Amino acid sequence: MPIDHAVAQAHFATYDPAAPISKAGPVWCGPIENCDVCSRPMASETYMIDGPSEASVNPRWGNLCVSCALKHSAVIGWGKAQLYKRLDSTWHLIAGGPPPEEDYSF
């Protein structure tokens, strides 16, 4: 059964912080034309998920639209999947990045 795009969009919007995107923060390097799973054009997408693109023990990762990500990478977090938001033509990391350095315990 196909996943409703609006439902998927709303799911990932819950990870979107209320603060404005910092243009100095981490960004995706390079263009993303289409979803690596379904080939949906990413030009009109608000969010892009860098995460597992299949359900397996050792899954391949890819750049996913919200619909494919809801199916394969619904949980955002360090080591799980990263959430990017498009601002103009650049994808900015907004959730799932590395923890702050002060959280590291050695």
Q: Is the pTM of this model over 0.75?
A: yes
Cα 103 to Cα 19, 24, 26, 99, 100, distances in angstroms: 21, 21, 19, 6, 6
Nearest CA to 63 out of 54, 71, 45, 51 is that of 51
Map out the domains of the chain as residue ranges.
Answer: 1-15+34-56+64-97
Give me the pLDDT at residue 106, please: 58
* Per-residue pLDDT tens over the stretch 15-24: 998 888 888 8
Q: Beta strand pairing status for 82-87 and 90-95? A: antiparallel
Give me the pLDDT at residue 42, please: 97
Give me the pLDDT at residue 100, please: 77
Cα gap 73→38, rounded to integer Å: 14
* Per-residue pLDDT tens over the stretch 36-74: 999 999 999 999 999 999 888 888 999 999 999 999 989
